[in-house]
Amino acid sequence: MPTIRPISDLRNNSNEIAEICKATREPIFITKNGVGELAVMSMEVYEQLEAKLELLSKISEAEENNFEGDEGEDFFVFAENLRKKVNGAI
């Protein structure tokens, strides 16, 4: 169940809201005059969300390229080149 708090809590209880966000790893929904206004979340959760969105964007782009006929790079060639980079051979 989502946590919903009035906007006055941002001013009066900001430390408590921050602690709830960190502990639950879920956003807190802030209302203004009974209507949804903001969503507040911890930086850790925000950064994870951004990383997921970036990954989904890249997957979508790859699927689009595949659909358009782009064959991409052979996995085994890619993996070998990556190993060489990681091990400093390149």
Q: pLDDT, tens digit, for every residue of 27-83? A: 999 999 999 999 999 999 999 999 999 999 999 998 998 888 888 788 899 899 889
pLDDT at 39: 97
Counting the structural domains of the chain, the total is 1
**pLDDT at res. 89:** 57
Q: What is the pLDDT of residue 60?
A: 95
Question: Is 40 in contact with 10 (CB distance < 8 Å)?
Answer: yes
Given a contact cutoff of 8 angstroms between Cβ atoms, the answer to whether 69 and 62 are in contact is no
Kindly indicate the confidence band of residue 1, based on its pLDDT and cuts at 50, 70 and 90. confident
The residue assigned the tokens 């001013």 is 11
DSSP run (H or E) holding 37: strand 35-40
Range of the domain at 37: 3-88
Who wins on pLDDT, 89 or 43? Answer: 43
What is the CATH number for 51? 3.40.1620.10
